[in-house]
């Protein structure tokens, strides 16, 4: 069963990021979701933007929580990763990468254009 087929609610995500068990039993003890205070703030910002900004020091728990939040909200999961060569825009569907491009700089205009090209991906 794919993760996106689970009935995940926003309440489940809120409980998982606080380290509590979800009501729909969608979490796993092997996959971390509990977030620190700064990560909770980054998750809130990502919800507003529609993508999560990650860097090499971003913990897996934040990425997992973002993916579960996207599943709960029924939206595609996008990451913007800051790398040595620039910014890598990528999306996930059912945990699988659907597209990736690298840009030397990143702006909302670049993301909007990239999103428009990859809506059907």
pTM, full prediction: 0.72
Question: Per-residue confidence at 11, pLDDT binned at 50, 70, 90?
Answer: confident
Asked whether the beta carbons of 101 and 89 are under 8 A apart, the reply is yes
Write down the mean pLDDT value for the chain: 76
pLDDT at residue 24, rounded to an integer: 63
At residue 96, the 3 state secondary structure works out as strand
The structural domains of the chain, with segments of one domain joined by +, span 3-117
Asked whether the beta carbons of 54 and 80 are under 8 A apart, the reply is yes
pLDDT at residue 88, rounded to an integer: 80
Question: Per-residue confidence at 98, pLDDT binned at 50, 70, 90?
Answer: low
Judged against a pLDDT cut of 50, whether residue 1 lies above it is answered with no
Per the structure block, which two tokens stand in for 104? Answer: 């030397």
Report pLDDT digits (tens) over 13-64.
888 787 776 666 665 555 667 788 999 999 999 998 888 988 888 888 898 8
């Amino acid at each position: 069963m794919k993760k996106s087929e689970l009935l995940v609610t926003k309440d489940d995500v809120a409980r998982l990021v606080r380290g509590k068990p979800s009501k729909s039993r969608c979490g796993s003890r092997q996959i971390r979701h509990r977030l620190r205070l700064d990560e909770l703030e980054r998750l809130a910002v990502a919800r507003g933007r529609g993508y999560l900004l990650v860097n090499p020091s971003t913990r897996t728990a934040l990425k997992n929580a973002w993916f579960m939040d996207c599943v709960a909200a029924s939206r595609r999961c996008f990451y913007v990763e800051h790398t040595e060569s620039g910014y890598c825009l990528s999306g996930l569907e059912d945990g699988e990468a659907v597209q990736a491009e690298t840009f030397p700089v990143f702006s909302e205009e670049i993301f909007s254009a990239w999103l428009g090209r990859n809506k059907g991906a």
